[in-house]
Amino acid sequence: MEIVIFTLIVVAGFIGFELFVRRRRRLSRGEQALVLENWLRLSAKVETDPAQSIIEADKLLAYVLRKKGYVGTLGEMMKKARPLFSDNNGIWRAHKLRNRIAHEVDHEVRPREAMQALSSFKRALCDLGIQIRGDSYWV
């Protein structure tokens, strides 16, 4: 009986460690380059198409979280990764704005609203280890 309990504890510990390591996974240089390339592209068109820039930034955050081992919808992944974000409220506001853009027919994005959302997405990506240099327009 003691051996069974010991075996279960060891297996549970191994599974927990594996999940911990997978979530802490770093993105490869190629993956980081892809994220940076997409970030630069979406931030360049924010003035001409702010709604699309916000949607793309939201998708980029989902991509990074998946690469780090999180699963589920973006909302579920954000809940699991909450301790990693320095501005959890800001990233949720940005994600909710994306949802309004995607689901409300007549939602217009104000320039200030777009700037705040992209700033929150950028901060979240940096919190996840993505180094976005330059591009100082989005603090």
pLDDT digits (tens, 9 = 90+) for 48-86: 999 999 999 999 999 999 999 999 999 999 999 999 999
SS3 label, residue 68:
coil
What is the pLDDT at residue 97?
98
- What's the average model confidence in pLDDT over 100-128? 94
What is the pLDDT at residue 20?
58
Amino acid at 2: E
Using pLDDT thresholds of 50, 70 and 90, give the confidence band for residue 6: low
What is the pLDDT at residue 90?
97
- Percent of the chain with pLDDT strictly greater than 70: 85
pTM for the predicted model, two decimal places: 0.80
What is the pLDDT at residue 98?
97
Give the residue among 57, 118, 60, 121 at the shortest CA–CA distance from 88.
121
Using pLDDT thresholds of 50, 70 and 90, give the confidence band for residue 136: very low
Residue matched to tokens 């979530």: 23
Please check the confidence at residue 10 and state whether its pLDDT lies above 60: yes
Please check the confidence at residue 139 and state whether its pLDDT lies above 50: no
Amino acid at 26: R
∠ CA 41-45-48, nearest 5°, is: 165
The pair of structure tokens assigned to 73 is 């919808």
